[in-house]
Amino acid sequence: MTPPEAALPSFDAGEDMPPAGPLRFETLKKRADFLRAARGRRVVMPGFILQSRTRNDDGPIRVGFTCSKKVGNAVARNRAKRRLREVARHVLSHRGKPATDYVLVGRADITATRPLNQLISDCNAAMDRLP
């Protein structure tokens, strides 16, 4: 007996397909990198805050994700960070500039509950506002 076929995800004609292979960015892990990005440019959007900083090397795009305890308990913070990772995968992997650090900061009661397509449009608008 063969299993039933799973439904394939459908994408709108105006939306780009997500990358199939490995992503083109690295994850920030050191506190010093987060602090340097916090001193850079900042764009406040309804769903999150985007911080960016251009580095003086020719390295890849680096992305960090953070949510304070104001976002909620550990479950809510992890959910918000998962959603921010998905936003970065859709937007920053296509529109991010090499040798740049980006930090997505979750906002209380909004990041975990805002629809994903609105978070993605927020990130596209934030990228438009960055020089």
pLDDT at 21 over 80: no
Is it the case that residue 66 has pLDDT exceeding 60?
Answer: yes
Query: How is residue 109 written in tokens?
Result: 């009661």
Domain of residue 60, residue span: 25-129
Does residue 6 lie in a domain region? no
Asked, for residue 91, whether it belongs to a domain, the answer is: yes
- pLDDT over threshold 70, residue 129: yes
Query: Is residue 33 in some structural domain?
Result: yes
More confident residue, 11 or 118: 118
Residue 8 lies in a domain: no
Dihedral sign for Cα 91, 94, 95, 96, please. Answer: positive
Instruction: Kindly state whether residue 3 falls inside one of the protein's structural domains.
Output: no
Q: Is the pLDDT of residue 70 over 70?
A: yes
**Domain-located, residue 103:** yes
Q: pLDDT averaged over the chain?
A: 87
> How many domains does the chain fold into?
1
| CA 45 – CA 53 distance, rounded (Å) | 17
Residue 10 falls inside a structural domain: no
Q: Is the pLDDT of residue 22 over 50?
A: no
Return the CATH number at 34: 3.30.230.10
At position 12, the amino acid (one-letter code) is D
Residue 92 belongs to some domain of the structure: yes
Q: In the Cβ-directed half-sphere of 95, how many Cα atoms lie within 13 Å?
A: 19
pLDDT of residue 85: 95
Question: Which pLDDT score, from 0 to 100, does residue 55 have?
Answer: 93
